[in-house]
Structures are given as structure tokens and as C-alpha cells.
Structure 1
Amino acid sequence: MPTSMPNHCHTKLAKPPVVLYRPNQQGAALIVVLLFLVLIMLAGVMAVRRSSTDLKTATADQINTLLLQSSDSANQKLENMLNGSPSSQEYKDVMSVSGVFGHFLLNPDNQGNEFIYCYNPRTRKYLTSNATIYASTGGTWSGLNNGICDYNSPAGYTSARHTVMTQMSVSIPVGSNDDEVFSNVVIGKEVENRSSKKFKFNIRATSVLPAFNPPKDSSNTSCLTKSSVPIADGKIPLLTCLHDASTPTKMLYEQADVENNSEGIKCITYGRGSLDTVCQLS
């Protein structure tokens, strides 16, 4: 007997249609990312520029300190020599007729000159033999021109590092109507006592750093050959030349009163008729 097989119906379910949604933000994410990249780049550039500015500021401050210390050292060396013991050799050198102060004190005809020497802390004598002396009448006094610092020579620098050189200028200011009456007379001395006088000196210590820019003018002449005494318009030729050459510079200006004070010695002991041994020639 034939058996009947059940009939199986196979129904195929239709797949739902796929709907594609196109986003409304066409490239918005890319624009946002690019904006962030631009901001990051700007922040980096600002940080680099600020670091560069800070570095330049720190370098300028270090240069200024270095030049200031060198100029101050030169002034202090000259002060110590002058204020030292009159019996010391350094004092005798600067106050002698060939010394930096004696050149003016002991010869009235030299009071309009400018005494220039290259400062070296290892040098103990600042005499006319190693100086440049500009005469008030023009040119050099007695042909002396040995005091200009040479930035091409190691001997012109203040130390073995060959970084800073300092040039000193000593002169007597030109008198004016505003000067105090009898200001050049030492207190306690008669006016006619020519061996006892007080002078006011202008002392200018100029330090330069030739490693950054050579101190020379357009004609390739060293600026250090220029005078440190102000001219008619108040400008200082040396500083003007150094400024034009963009050479790091520091000038310290100081005024000092120096007295050439003679003292009398009692030689005869009155009432005894004998000569004091202090006054006898050896």
C-alpha cells in the first residue's frame, strides 16, 4: 500500500531592501582635523620664537654683564694704583711725569691732551711709553701711538680667552663758566703755590666684544683709534663708530679729583741750632 509522503512547502523569504544613508557632513571631520593641525603648528611656532627671544635676551644680558665687569675692573685697577701707598712703585709710576696722571699734573701744557692705553690686568705700569696721547693741537703728542687695542692681536684682550678688550681714556674736562671758583686749588694751600693743585679727570673705560662684529668703520679703520672725548655736538666719536659697526659695547664714565699736594718738612730745630737728620741728603 503506497504510503503518502507529506508535502513540504519551501517558502523563500524576501530580503529587506538595503537603504544607504549619505551623511550630511561632507568633509567636516577633515576640516576639523586640519584646524587642529594648524593650531598645533601655530603653538609650536610661537614656542620656538619665544625660546629664541629668551635665548637672545639671556645672551644680551650675559654680554652686558661681561662688558660691565671688564670696564669696572679697569677703573678699579686705576683707582687702586692712585689710592695706594705713596711709597709703592705703582703710585710713583702713575704720578710720575710719564705716568697717566703725572702727564697732566706736572706739565700744564698737557692738560688738553687725551691719554689712551689698552687695559691689561697683568700690566702694572701705565706710562707714556705704552700709551697713545692725542694732543689738543691735533695729531699725537711726541709721536706716541702705542696704546690702541688691536682686536687682531691676542695681546689686546683682557684674558687668555680672547673675548673682551678694554681701552682706557683719561683726560681733563674743558673748563666752563659753571665751574666752582678756585675749584683747582687744594684746601689749605695758597693760590700761588703751583705745586699744590687739584684736577678733575674724566676717565672712560670702553669694553668691546669683537667676536660678534669687528670694531671697524666703512674704511676698514679700527674704531678704537677714535677719541673718547665728546665733540661739539656732544657725540663721542668712539661710541658712534662702534654703534655703526654693531659691536657690543659698554662704556663706563667716571670723574675723579686728584690732588697734587706738596707737604713741607721742618728741617731746622729752632733754638738748638742743629739740622734735623730727616732733612739731610743721603
Structure 2
Amino acid sequence: MLTPQHASLTLLALLAFAANSVLCRLALGTLSIDAASFTAVRLVSGAITLLVLVALRQRSGSAQHWISAGSWRGAAYLWLYAASFSFAYVQLDTATGALLLFGTVQLTMIITSLLRGERLTGLEWLGLWIAVGGFLYLIVPGLTAPTRLGFMLMVISGIAWGFYTLNGRGSSRPLADTAGNFVRAAPFALLLYLPFTDSILISSNGFWLAVASGALASGIGYALWYTVLPALSGIQASVMQLSVPILAAIGGAVIVRELLTTHLLVATLLLLGGIGVFLAGRAKQPARKRASNG
């Protein structure tokens, strides 16, 4: 079971992911910045913030810590997720994009976890389907048909984020690893400018929204997520991320003044209730294994 500390860090990480969605919607939805610039500013500001955090934690020799941490594989997943996400939201509306992203993430992580030997009990399956039902209840009624390009980009983004999450589960230095991944990914984000030099758009508002997305919601949020991932199974991490669209919708209601409807409240109860059922089933497994071994 999760300790109180892990539970608190998990909640903060999920809130950061939700905040990132709100910031992306504000920036890209209002055409305050183009997708290539948003991706570049997001990754560069995230890298700078994480390097500062590493330096504060390790005041001597901090550069060696992030240089040897992280991986090119993690950086590739991070870059592919961030770039595909930004360009997909130019093509998709919010509801369709969220469904495609998180649906693909969950499918990627669940299939990978099952292939690695994890098995679900009946109670866990029940919780999973209740949570998925709440997620679909929230999003499906507002769907519009996605464009082919938008669909492909968001599916790619979801697959990349799923593998990035799984890649971080074995991290023993989550902050340094996240910093290393961001530093490696940032230069590649600048390459996105090459085919889009004629469509660059960076307003002051869009720039600072991208900075907030990179420095706070992405950099710090991913560092927190890397910290708690070793305490989660792949299935647990997958189901918990289903709560992010709900949290983002609530953030949209508060920040963007979107209407908080009964429909949203029902979906929240279904989704969070399903997560609770799933985790209750997962918590019984150690006791059941001990009993069978005895």
C-alpha cells in the first residue's frame, strides 16, 4: 500500500499534470503561441528549473549528477510526447484530445504491464472498468470527429508518455534523472522550428504560459511522478492517471470559468470511486500471497 508520503506526492504530481493541461489549453487554444514554440519553451524552462533544483540539493558537483543521470531513451519519450501533444492540440478539440491521450496512455501501460506478468483480480477489473466508465462518461458526450492528423499525433503522444512513465519506475535518483531527460530533450525541441519558420508566433502571454507549463507543471510535476513511481505497479500508475482529466476539468471551471455541471460531478464520483475499488483489490494481494505461501 502507498504510504501517506507517497500518497501526498502522487496527488501533487497528478495536480501538476492537470495544471499542465489547463496551461496548454490557455496557450494553444487562444493562439497565444505556436505549437513549436510552446514545446521548445516548455522543455527549455523545465530543464533550467530542474537544474536549479539539482544544484540546490547537491551544492557541490551538481553538474556531474545530472550529466550521468537520465537517459537518451527517456529524453526521446519526453520529446516525442511533448511535441506530438502540442501539434495535436492544433488539430483537436479538448475533449477529443484528452480521450485519445489518456486512453492511449492507459492502453499502453496496461498492455505492457500484463505482458510483463501482472495479473488483475476480479475486484481490480471491476474498479478499472468503473474508472474507465467515469472517464468516458465525462468526455464522450462532447466528442467531435478528430482529424486524421490530430488523431495520429495524439496517439503517438499517449504511447510516448506511457513508455516515459514506465521508463521512470526504476529510478533511484528521480530529480536528477528528470533533469537529465529534460536537458537531453531541450535541444531537439529547438529543431521543431526548422520546418515552421514562417509560422512562429510568441506573445508575452503565450510565452509565460509555456514557461509555467515547463518549469512548474512539467519539470517539478515529472520529478514528483518519478519519485512515486517505484512505489506503484504499472497498473496502479495507469489507473491513477485517469483522474487527471477530471482534475483538469475542475481547474478549467475555476481558472477558465467553465461551467461545473452535474455531469462532471457524476463522472468524478465514478472515476475516483473506481480507482478506490481498484486500489482496494490491489491492497489485498500481498496478504493473499502470504497466505498461499504459508
TM-score normalized with structure 1 length: 0.27
Which structure has more strand as a fraction of its residues? 1
Q: Higher RCO, 1 or 2 (CA under 8 Å, sep at least 6)?
A: 2
TM-score normalized with structure 2 length: 0.27
- Give the number of the structure whose alpha-carbon radius of gyration is greater: 1
